[in-house]
Amino acid sequence: MLIRELIPGYLEELKILNRSPLTIRNIRGALNAMALFLEHEGITELVQFNRNALHLFQEDLAYRLTAKGKQLSVSTREKYLCSVRGFARYLYATDYLTADLSKTITLPKQPKRLPKVILEYVEITKIMAAPDMRTPDGYRNRIILEILYDTGIRAAEMAAVKTGDLDIVHGYLTIRSGKGTKDRVVPISSRVCDIIKQYLLMVRPAMSRGKETGYLVLNRWGTKMTPTAVWAVVKKSGSPSKD
């Protein structure tokens, strides 16, 4: 069986999981790029799809240039590899592969910037414990703080996150730019993914009040929270964050 022939089945699985059309289109592009590269290397059959094949593609991305002759950004390479990792997990889960090759894929690290404020562990614990998770608003506020701290995104980006932008199975979040620049993908820890999953199952349905806007965090009327409202949650917790 050809590697390329298995891509449509994975994309259909993503549709069933309610991934956004843009997310699916981006994943399709990444997987087609992988398949094309492997074909140039003489790797076309599923039996050839192994750790070495993935390493070759990962190495190629590190040196690949854009149409303008620039090296691919870390976020672009991360997006490609997140897509390939998800595909590898799918092949393992559906018994096409006997080993989970997703574990062999290492995501490139973003250049780290020194934060303006470095929080101690005790401070972080205190901030995360501030919202009362026994209430819907409190649980939502905890989600906001966890995602902001885990990913480093801005309050405005947090307000714009939709449920379809999240992939809690593979652990990443797509940030929609809306400013003429490319979207980016940021990883989310499995611990935060578990909290989000419970929020989506137990809390958000009640908060939506029968309205389905698609946004992850909702206000008391079941509609999108404003960036100002998200920032207010951050300030109330005592946490410094990006506005």
Query: Coil, strand, or helix at residue 66?
Result: coil
Outline where DSSP puts E strands in the chain.
166-167, 172-175, 184-187
What pLDDT score does 114 carry? 45
Residue 113, in any domain of the structure: no
Nearest Cα to Cα of residue 170 among 151, 193, 144: 193
Q: For position 52, which CATH number holds?
A: 1.10.150.130
182 in the same domain as 128: yes
What pLDDT score does 55 carry? 93
Helices (H), 152-226: 155-160, 190-198, 204-207
- Between CA 53 and CA 58, with CA 55 as vertex, the angle to 5 degrees is 115
- Domain count within the chain: 2
Domain span at residue 212 reads 121-237
User: 2: number of CA atoms within 13 Å, CB side?
Assistant: 12
Task: Return d(Cα 215, Cα 224) in angstroms, integer.
Answer: 6
128 in the same domain as 99: no
203 in the same domain as 134: yes
Residue 111, in any domain of the structure: no
pLDDT averaged over 10-residue windows placed end to end, the chain, 243 residues? 95 92 94 95 95 93 83 88 95 94 85 52 62 86 90 90 92 77 85 92 90 90 90 75 48
